[in-house]
A and B are shown apart, each in its own frame.
Chain A
Amino acid sequence: QVQLVESGGGLVKPGGSLRLSCAASGFSFGDYYMTWVRQAPGKGLEWLSYISSGGDNTHYAASVKGRFTVSRDNAENSLYLQMNSLRVEDTALYYCARECDIGDCVDQWGRGTLVTVSS
């Protein structure tokens, strides 16, 4: 079965950096676009970024563009999110998710990893 397991979350000070990882299994990882979505405590879903199957095409939400970088290692079935210049408002549960075959939707989600930005 499809599994997406995020890791790397934790407590970080404003201005700090963190790298999230997502280990994928149960499907042909290199065939799928992948997405990062976050959810601040008590708030709704916020789309952050996607990366194409080959890793050559990426898009970012305005709120993280220039600070976050998505990447992948298809040989390791892994997705990453490098987060720099973190702000208090980046505090959220970060989900790794798989794009649908045909795009325009997300059909598999991890359980998320919590990032807390606080002094």
Chain B
Amino acid sequence: QSVLTQPPSVSAAPGQKVTISCSGSSSNIGINYVSWYQQLPGTAPKLLIYENNLRPSGIPDRFSGSKSGTSAALVITGLQTGDEADYYCGTWDSSLSVGMFGGGTKLTVL
């Protein structure tokens, strides 16, 4: 069981918006940056968001991130079938001195 809690699955129709939450604690999300990763089937993860809300070069602005207190969220707008993937949040835990990922959320675009 992950220290960072994500919903196991979310779904929405093409063109719609979806929000994936990531809940942590005061020793991880509460004081450290959150990053988000997309893992398409059969491939390695890919960085989508870093420092809570910044996008690496090449990531479309349909993907956005936010953080408030001990929770973070990834929002995907204008959903496309190609967005079907597993999404993971990640951060550092300053009490445990370890990195960590959420359990992952499977996005289905209906």
B is bound to A: yes
Q: Report the stretch among B16-24, B69-77, B89-97 that lies at the interface.
A: B89-97
Cβ-neighbour of B98 out of A59, A95, A103 (below 8 A) = A59
Cβ-neighbour of A44 out of B46, B56, B88, B97 (below 8 A) = B88
- A47 and B2: CB pair below 8 A? no
Q: Could you say which of B32, B50, B102 has the most chain A C-beta atoms within 10 Å of its C-beta? A: B50
Q: How far is the CB of B95 from chain A (nearest CB, A)?
A: 12
Q: Report the stretch among A66-74, A78-86, A108-116 that lies at the interface.
A: A108-116
- B97 and A59: CB pair below 8 A? yes
Judged by a CB distance under 8 angstroms, whether B104 is at the interface is yes
- A106 and B47: CB pair below 8 A? yes
Q: In the complex, how many residues of chain B place their beta carbon closer than 8 angstroms to a beta carbon of chain A?
A: 27
> Chain B interface mostly helix, strand, loop or mixed?
strand
Q: How far is the CB of B51 from chain A (nearest CB, A)?
A: 7
Task: For B2, list chain A residues within 8 Å (CB).
Answer: 44
Q: Give A35 to B47 CA distance when docked, in angstroms.
A: 14
Task: For B51, list chain A residues within 8 Å (CB).
Answer: 102, 104-105
- A105 and B33: CB pair below 8 A? yes
Judged by a CB distance under 8 angstroms, whether A50 is at the interface is yes
- B37 and A45: CB pair below 8 A? yes
Judged by a CB distance under 8 angstroms, whether B64 is at the interface is no
